[in-house]
Amino acid sequence: MICFPQMPRYIAVPGNPDLIELTVDYLGPNINGKRTLVKAGFRCDGGSIPRFCWPFIFHPLQAPFIAAAIPHDGEYAAELYERIDNDKRLYAACRALNIGWLKSRLIYRAVRIGGKFVWKRHTQDSIANAGKFVECVNV
């Protein structure tokens, strides 16, 4: 069983309504013995879900999805795991939040589509910068 932590605390990034910034450190759920710590100051867009998918699932900054999206965005940005493993962890986190099977599958498929474009834009510098805010915690 996956035990989900509290909801993250964040603010909107001034001038960019599509980004949020964590105001306190956030420890994601235990998935297969690993949790993702995302530190205050990390900025993200909530899952790299293409806009055309939002009406069918969630707005990426909407609760409860945001609690799964923040660790996922951190894992992507820092490339903590292979991309497909990050996406599988997102699916597991969605299910832990009691997001239904179908909606969780739609979220998974959406990030498989949108995430590849985000992943391709990574540079050594962007990965290193994200690494300052994101780390894997073994439990």
pLDDT of residue 64: 84
pLDDT of residue 29: 87
The span from the CA of 41 to the CA of 77, in Å, is 14
Read off the DSSP letter of residue 31.
B
User: Residue 4 — pLDDT band, cuts 50, 70, 90?
Assistant: low
pLDDT of residue 3: 52
**Nearby residues of 14 by Cβ (< 8 Å), 6 or more positions away:** none
Cα 46 → chain centroid: 6
Question: What are the pLDDT digits (tens) for 15-72?
Answer: 988 889 999 999 998 898 999 999 999 999 877 677 777 777 767 677 788 899 999 9
Interval 67-86 mean pLDDT: 95
pLDDT of residue 82: 96
Q: Has this prediction a pTM greater than 0.75?
A: yes
Preceding amide of 64 cis, omega within 30: yes
* Domain range annotation of the chain: 10-133
Spatial CA neighbour of 38 closest among 131, 138, 107: 131
**75 and 49 Cβ atoms separated by less than 8 Å:** no
**63 and 46 Cβ atoms separated by less than 8 Å:** no
Question: What are the pLDDT digits (tens) for 105-138?
Answer: 999 998 898 889 989 999 999 999 999 999 999 9
pLDDT of residue 86: 95
